[in-house]
Structure 1
Amino acid sequence: MSSIRQRMIAMGRFLPTLALGIAGGGLAYWLHMPLPWLLGAMIATTVASLAGVRLRPPSSSRKAVLVVIGVMLGSAFTPDLSGDLPLWGASLAIMLLATALMMAFSVWFSRHVAGYSLDTALYSGVPGGVSAVTLMAMDSNADLRTVGMTHAVRILILLIAIPPLLQAIGHVSLQPGGMSLAQWLWLPTLEDAAWLAAAGVAGVWLGNWLRLPNALLFGPALISAALHLTGMTQAAIPPTIIALAQVIIGVSVGVRFAGTSLLDVGYNLTMAVLQTIALLLIAILAAWGAHALTGYSLAAALLAYMPGGAPELSLVALSLGIDPAFVTSHHLLRITVLILLMPVLLNHCRRWSA
């Protein structure tokens, strides 16, 4: 009973943050911004955090949203994807090579330019998997504040950079389509809702059992993908829940800057910005190379190769209809490989620098 009460209290304290995110998303939607609910919520809470406002981060609500996003991403895996799978193999290989280059540059930059310790350089340089990486960094000598800030700044810059980059690529509509009240209030049938709920519950169990990175996201995505690939269901998530998921993900990025000051952390912020710009350039070049070799969508490759934020970037792909199955698969493979290799990399680097 006490745990339920604590959750209710935590939810009550989070409501002002959520209200700010919804207001920011609503304003962005009214202004016809691209990705309005995500970017609007993120910008509003980031500005408030840097202004000194103490915002409560989402806790249980973010976990629930990750499950919802996982189920949504799985619905993008349809039976007609089989013809694209050979191209995915080549793209996945290019992505892993680009990830190795990103990791090498990040560690070099953090050590020799920013002057961070080896542990801090390794964990802040991982291009993705912020939740799992932060947990792993707790058992090391890394500066957790620097690690967290580097990842937060990276995701912030990537999300802000996505609209102009996709606009430059062309052939991608970023203008949010107007929706009627009936469309906003659309709900799935009871049968479809049951399939979606079952995918979420079974996916959480599967993700934890397999010990997947970001189990709440990728476990439901795997179960939902299996259901949709086999044609057992074609259920979709209501647009209101998709918008709310974008708001909470945007808020979860913005509140990471709570308690920070531009004056106090200016150096770390500058280093994080410079590092992110370099990684973004590597991702752009790799995506262009993959597009030239395979003919696959440049926009999808760009979202798949971006260094970090699997929930955020997968949700962007889903929201814009840019091959979310392709993007999600790349991020899942990259995070899995990085997390498995991190202990080996850390030990190797320690011996090499000794």
Structure 2
Amino acid sequence: MVRAVAILILSLFAGWLFNYINVPAGWLLGALLTGLLFGLARSGVSYDGWPFKLALSLVGANIGLLMTTDLFAIIGIYLGPLIVTLILTLLAGFVLGWLLYRWSGILNKRTAFFCCIPGGASEIISVSSEYDADERIVAAFHTARITLFVLHIPFLAGVWNNRGGEAVAGVDPVALTFDHVATFTFVITLAALLNSLFKLPAGALLYAIVLGFLFGEYVFQIEGVPSYIGGIGQALIGVMVGVRFDRTTLIRLKKIGKVSAGILGLFVAFSFLSAYVFWLLSDMSYIVSLLSVVPAGAAEMSATAFALNQEPTLVASLQIIRVISIFATLPLLLWVIRRV
């Protein structure tokens, strides 16, 4: 417990420092790199379970407070392009799974395919062992995939837009008020309760976004949030993702050899291509397209969009739709996997 708290404090400081020197998505990346260092040093610390859900709820509440009613009409415009990229993503996952099986020489088909199902990582990992897949390899591969995306996309997006560590548009630094404390307390508590009663993919994030919008729009009429609250949420996500990439994960990936690096590289390349397709089919900027469709976790990409001032509410909405859609097609995917 003491070590876990110490790592959180150091990660928050690293996030603040990175943000202070204007590193793109500084809060997120500073904490992520700190988590990676401790993870690879065999820290033995894990934040899975309620700590991670708490961080998701904090990020979700912050995003929800930025939402306006106009967003619901905007989301409908992008459903067509999102469906196209979802189909492409699922097809790419099967192709990459087949390549991983053929190139590795040591993985069975089901393990390889489970490694490359693009989304709903926790759900995929939890059911993989039921289908004779090696859940340790599946967990290592999904952990590496998400860590890789969260590590490099903020740098690329920040450099692309040359925005460094600026605050989210419309959210200037303001004093913390009772309304803020009450809103975050109610939202996080209710999101945890709803997630325990009605489990959904990225449920803690989804419930917190919806509740944050309702409380901010109709109960307290909150117009601004202290910028450091969003930074703390991003840092918590960063360190909790970072510590997952430990020595055990690295050793398991090494067993597959260079093939694992090659497949992860293809995942990254495909994500840029998928974002390009989305960009062609919509009027969205390329960076927002990338954050909206990349298979790197709804929470992680929502936090990244928030950190980079890149339409966080829209990105969160499209990412959640993407994850839920993949989860909804999971029975079909599993049916296919059983027969390959």
Superposition TM-score tier, normalisation by shorter sequence: 0.7 to 0.9
In structure 2, the gaps of 5 or more residues are none
Specify the code of the residue in structure 2 equivalent to 1:40: G
- Corresponding pairs, count: 335
1:7-66 CA-partner distances (Å, limit 9, x unpaired): xxx3x341122133234324433543211121112112213332x332412243322111
Percent of matched pairs sharing the same residue = 25
**Post-superposition offset of 1:262:** 5.1
Do the aligned residues in 2 keep the contact of 1:132 with 1:214 (CA within 8 Å)?
A: no
1:33 match: 23
Do the aligned residues in 1 keep the contact of 2:28 with 2:307 (CA within 8 Å)?
A: no
Give the TM-score normalised by structure 2: 0.86
Do the aligned residues in 2 keep the contact of 1:72 with 1:236 (CA within 8 Å)?
A: no
Match of 1:87 among 72, 77, 86: 77
**Post-superposition offset of 1:194:** 2.4
Do the aligned residues in 1 keep the contact of 2:113 with 2:337 (CA within 8 Å)?
A: no
**Cα distance 1:150–1:174, how it changes in 2: closer, same or farther (>3 A)?**
farther
Do the aligned residues in 2 keep the contact of 1:186 with 1:239 (CA within 8 Å)?
A: no
1:7 match: none
1:58 match: 47
Do the aligned residues in 2 keep the contact of 1:26 with 1:40 (CA within 8 Å)?
A: yes
Match of 1:252 among 235, 240, 245: 240
1:159 match: 150
RMSD of aligned residue pairs (Cα, Å)? 2.8
Secondary structure (helix, strand or coil) at the match of 2:243 reads: helix
1:62-110 CA-partner distances (Å, limit 9, x unpaired): 2211111121222232123355234222232223123223322232222
1:46 match: 36
User: Is the aligned partner of 1:297 residue 2:285?
Assistant: yes
Secondary structure (helix, strand or coil) at the match of 2:242 reads: helix
User: Is the aligned partner of 1:75 residue 2:75?
Assistant: no
Give the TM-score normalised by structure 1: 0.83
1:129-154 CA-partner distances (Å, limit 9, x unpaired): 22222222243322222111111211
Do the aligned residues in 2 keep the contact of 1:71 with 1:200 (CA within 8 Å)?
A: yes
**Post-superposition offset of 1:344:** 2.6
**Post-superposition offset of 1:250:** 1.4
**Cα distance 1:250–1:162, how it changes in 2: closer, same or farther (>3 A)?**
same
**Post-superposition offset of 1:317:** 0.7
Match of 1:279 among 267, 271, 282: 267
1:277-332 CA-partner distances (Å, limit 9, x unpaired): 21222222222222222222221110011112211110111121211122112221
Structure 1 CA distance for aligned equivalents of residues 180 and 21 of structure 2: 33
2:175 match: 186
User: Is the aligned partner of 1:150 residue 2:121?
Assistant: no
In structure 1, the gaps of 5 or more residues are 1-9
